[in-house]
A and B are shown apart, each in its own frame.
Chain A
Amino acid sequence: MGNYRVVHYLNQFFGQIGGEEKANISLRVLDKPVGPGNAFNNALGESTEIVSTIICGDSFFNEHKDEVQAEIKEVLQDIKPDLVIAGPAFNAGRYGMACGGVAEVASGLDIPVISGIYPENPGYDMYKQFAYFVETSNSAAGMRTALPDMVNLVKNYIEKDGDLGLPEKEGYLPRGIRRNTFVENRGSKRAVDMLIAKLNDKDFKTEYPMPDFDRVDPVEELKDIENATIALVTSGGIVPKGNPDHIESSSASKYGKYSIEDIYEMDKLTHETAHGGYDPVYANEDPNCVLPVDVLRDLENEGKIGKLHKYYYSTVGNGTSVANAKAYAKKIAKDLLEDGVQAVILTST
């Protein structure tokens, strides 16, 4: 028996319950390591033990966040672990949000959390102050390196009694936390040194990176909607049946532009989803529940909107890199402007 007790959080997939069809399972607790937890448990050594594993479906967690967090709080209060390991979540958005959500609860109970995540995962930015996130690759293929990296951090954390050093030295992603520290040179000298290095085109390192505030101000509201052309864009992967452009089910390398001229509603015989990051049963049965062509046609006929644009655009938002999504949307926007579209409804799963 170990003396350092760890609780591990996993989603339905790594918790070995099932794939997307099980993403809606509620929270459950097992008193043993599961899946990657076994490898963690072995690598952590004898004095550290995963005593329980919390498993929850990714969709369920995100759709019932408050309820699940309350349950996790109860579980953690009951088990009183010394540390929580969450994930790793890689670039799975819902899983990353769940690991972060677990960290938020644990942090409130003063229980440290170590997790693994791809920096573009929204869960990192949202919850970075609540956990020590090890940087992982964007897909589960990176488990081989994520696991030892996380184990090292756990071991270091235990060894240093929680007093970890700077992120890059210890191998975790910045948490946006500032701490007082003693350095050799005073601030004015360090600043001048940096400036001289900069002027000489030499490497220098800022001590306070500016946060990345990439925000776009809201565009002025749409006027004269009765005469406006409105376009549909989706990251939910709705494509013509057979997926003619072969948009990938995850990490999509492209988007599709498809005509909906003369289409009055999405039909399961003609359209389906290419998305691999959610249970496709519902979208395949009725694609309108992701791409609401049917009601927009009705609204068009009722004169509530001018026109539904004759093309819709679709990609798969599943582990897709921010840079790619940005590039697609840029091209799509250019297209839409050229076609005189005045507003966009973008749906995401």
Chain B
Amino acid sequence: MVKEIERAGIPVVHIATVVPISKTVGANRIIPAIAIPHPLGDPNLAKQKQKEIRKELVLKALEALQTPIDSQTVF
């Protein structure tokens, strides 16, 4: 899916836990996530703390979108 969106000319960042799969499917901008069932949260933490971590990941994703790259990059 990432590849087709990128093919259409839209920059896309992939937030995914299993980075090797993300690479195989051809994502170019990759953000490693927390865990498979909760990529952007950690149920062991309090709600507010979870949101802080989520924000960090999303900010990292936005950073990746604004970074020029010429090949697959894990941020």
Interface string of B1-20 (1 = CB under 8 A from A): 11111111111111111101
Where the two chains meet, the residues of A that have a C-beta atom closer than 8 Å to any C-beta of B are: 20, 23, 59, 62-63, 93-94, 97, 122, 125-126, 214-223, 225, 230, 233, 235-236, 278-283, 285-286, 288-290, 292, 294-296, 298-299, 304-305, 315, 317, 325-326, 328-330, 332-334, 336-337, 341-349
Q: Is the CB of B20 within 8 A of A97?
A: yes
* 5 A–B pairs (Cβ distance < 8 Å), ordered by A: A298-B55, A317-B1, A346-B5, A346-B12, A347-B33
Q: Which of A214, A219, A230, A326 has the most CB of B within 10 A?
A: A219
Are the C-beta atoms of B17 and A349 separated by less than 8 Å?
A: yes
Whether B11 contacts A220 by the Cβ 8 Å rule is yes
Q: Give the distance to chain A from B10, nearest Cβ to Cβ, in Å.
A: 6
- How far does the alpha carbon of A299 sit from the alpha carbon of B65 in the complex, in Å? 15
Flag B45-75 by CB within 8 Å of A: 1 or 0 each.
0010011001101110110011111111100
Residue of B with least CB distance to A124: B24
Interface centre among A59, A216, A285 (most CB of B within 10 A): A216
B18-A97 in contact (CB<8A): yes
Q: How far is the CA of A283 from the CA of B43 in the complex (A)?
A: 10
Q: Which residues of B pack against A, CB within 8 Å?
A: 1-18, 20-22, 24-29, 33, 35-41, 43, 47, 50-51, 54-55, 57-59, 61-62, 65-73
Whether the Cβ atoms of B58 and A329 lie closer than 8 Å is: no
Which of B9, B39, B72 gathers the greatest number of chain A CB atoms within 10 Å?
Answer: B39
Measured between beta carbons, the chain B residues less than 8 angstroms from A325 are 1, 4
For A298, the chain B residues whose CB sits under 8 A away are 55
Bound-state CA distance A225–B2 (Å) is 20
Q: Which residues of A contact B9 (CB under 8 A)?
A: 219, 337
How far in angstroms is the closest Cβ of chain B from A268? 12
Identify the closest chain A residue to B61 (Cβ). Answer: A345
Q: Is the pair A282, B10 in contact by a Cβ cutoff of 8 Å?
A: no
